[in-house]
Amino acid sequence: MDTARYRPDWLTFRRFAAFTTALTATLIALGVYTSATGSGLACSAQWPLCDNGLLPQTIPSFIEWFHRLIAMVTGFFILGTVGWAWRADTARRTKLAATLSVVLLPLQVSIGAVTVTLNGWLPNGYSPPTQSAHLLVALSIFTALVATTLFAYDGHHRTSALVRTRRALLASLAFLPVSVLFSRAPGLLAYTPGAQATFVLTSLPVFAALVGAVYWAGRAEMDRVRLATYPVVGLVFVHVLLGRDLLIYTGSVRLLNLGVLAAAFIALAGVTWVAYQQDGGPTPTQGLTSSD
């Protein structure tokens, strides 16, 4: 059955994939907030029920319940993205990237269920290692969806891959300090649950832009830029994990985090400069306001 006639013209697969990716990023931030407030242990340690029923009875239970609700909605959007990718005339890599996100979904749901139900029965059931594993799988799903969106937008850009690479790197360089501000590394702000969620919301776009820069640099045959961006992606990934208690955040871990950030800034600034100098391009300042 042709479903195209039942949806508006503006609702395309690439836009649906982009929305699903953004919704997943929001869910990750909400999950961090839920964990930081301790609400993951609410709902009377029940899943999928909450407080012996379908609806929560306390504020912490509501936070956990709302997180589960958004997770369910996001799961359906991910399933919809995969189904659409396979039904539509999309590239094979688009289908595979979308499929990877849904393959990881049961693992993510299982880890989340274990942390709020069997945490007292299993060693480290609700602890930094388990929560970090939960975040690792979430970031893997997010990365797969970012790739799906990037692939889906191929052939629908008004600018060249070279210009997109430059802008993605420059955006990452501009917004990484915002992520750092809300992280616990500089210690400028209290690392409250709200700050932790904001940290994730500001970090994931930087990470996504760097993934985009890697892909577009390859499309533009900018091999040096592409290879030099890979380590930056890894450093930002570690920065996100350190902000979520991958390790107990001692003074030594904080120094490690600061070192990771310093390396990320230096490497990102260098690769951005190289990208703007390649083929006699404009300087980064000019590129920020360019109408290319």
Poorest-confidence range of 131-135, 208-212, 250-254, 265-269?
A: 131-135
Query: Looking at the chain, how many residues does it have?
Result: 292
Query: What ranges do the domains of the chain cover?
Result: 9-156, 159-292
What mean pLDDT do residues 17-24 have? 96
Q: What is the pLDDT of residues 108-155, one digit of tens each?
A: 877 766 666 555 444 444 556 666 777 888 899 999 999 999 999 988
CA distance 236 to 207: 7
pLDDT recorded at residue 177? 95
pTM of the model: 0.85
pLDDT recorded at residue 121? 46
User: What CATH number does the domain located at 159-292 have?
Assistant: 1.20.120
What mean pLDDT do residues 60-73 have? 89
- Model confidence band, residue 58 (pLDDT cutoffs 50, 70, 90): confident
User: Which among 7, 18, 155 is positioned nearest to 89, based on CA atoms?
Assistant: 155
- Which position has the higher pLDDT, 127 or 182? 182
Q: What is the pLDDT of residues 200-247, one digit of tens each?
A: 999 999 999 999 999 999 999 999 999 999 999 999 999 988 876 666
pLDDT recorded at residue 110? 75
- Which position has the higher pLDDT, 288 or 209? 209
User: Which among 158, 165, 197, 200 is positioned nearest to 179, based on CA atoms?
Assistant: 200
pLDDT recorded at residue 259? 95
Q: Rounded mean pLDDT of the chain?
A: 84
